[in-house]
Amino acid sequence: MGIGLKPDTSYLFSNLNNNNNSSSGIFDMSFLSDYNSIKSGSYGKLVKAYYKKLESEESSSTKDKDKTENKDKVSTSLAEDSSKTLTAVKSATSSLSELASDFAKKGDEKLLAMKEVTTKNEDGTSVTTKEYDMDAIYKSISGFVDKYNDVIESSKESDASGIKKATTNMTNITDLYANSLKKLGITINADKSLSIDEKTFKAADIDDIKDTFTGSSSFSKSISSQASFINDAATREGAKANTYTNSGSYSDNYSTGDLFSSLF
């Protein structure tokens, strides 16, 4: 007769009542909570939130770095004008100085254009002569007036005392030639710009045009020099921007690239 023994199977379910999350036992169900998190999407949301936080921290770090770099680039410039203003002044004065110099030194070639004129006599013969081309001469002087006014206009935008003083010197020189200019139909306006009357100019004596715009003692010569002085003042003003930054590095604020970029 055999002994009746009952096998003890309680150990198989012991882990179901264990609250210490032990991994021992063949019926450990703790993995079900992870599975449920994945299935419901909360796990994915947690991962997204984590990486979003990382991106935010990286972005903030980049912005702080950019602010630091930009702060380092702040120059101790003493220049009173922007690069755009100085570029306009230098461009206008260079153009005026070059044109006025050409008139003063090479008037016969650059200004006093001549043309051939053919006339017929009563007997049917024709005669060809040369005379001054007043249309071409007027066009050249009108161009001079435009360039002069460009200098006046660009200088008005300047706050630099050197540029203002040099421009005032130029307009004072022009005032000295007021009577000579008036004979040619050129008027000095209240704002110190010039205007020219075509009809009066073309009717003017050619010798008066020569005296005013050609030769070493002419109005053109004086204006060429004065325009150069304004240009020099603009150059000196630009040099004030070539300073050291807060970190000690050298900064050329008015480099060629910056100057041309400011025109657009």
Contacts of 234 (CB under 8 A, 6+ apart): 81, 86, 89, 90, 93, 158, 160, 163
Banded pLDDT at 261 (limits 50, 70, 90): very low
pLDDT digits (tens, 9 = 90+) for 122-154: 888 888 888 899 999 999 999 999 999 999 999
C-beta atoms surrounding 198 within 10 Å:
14
Range of the domain at 146: 83-243+251-261
What pTM does this model have? 0.63
Structural domain contains residue 57: no
Structural domain contains residue 137: yes
pLDDT digits (tens, 9 = 90+) for 54-79: 666 666 665 555 554 444 444 445 56
Structural domain contains residue 103: yes
Structural domain contains residue 206: yes
Structural domain contains residue 133: yes
**Residue 129 β-bridge partners:** 117
Residue 53 clears pLDDT 60, i.e. is over it: yes
Q: Into how many domains does the chain fold?
A: 1
Q: What is the DSSP string of 153-213?
A: HHHHT---HHHHHHHHHHHHHHHHTHHHHHHTTEEE-TTS-EEE-HHHHHTS-HHHHHHHH
Rounded to the nearest 10 degrees, the angle between the axes of helix 219-239 and helix 206-213 is 30
**What pLDDT sits at residue 29?**
53
Residue 237 clears pLDDT 60, i.e. is over it: yes
Structural domain contains residue 179: yes
pLDDT digits (tens, 9 = 90+) for 155-209: 999 999 999 999 999 999 999 999 999 999 999 999 999 999 999 999 999 999 9
Residue 260 clears pLDDT 50, i.e. is over it: no
Structural domain contains residue 96: yes
Structural domain contains residue 44: no
Average pLDDT score over residue span 205-233: 96
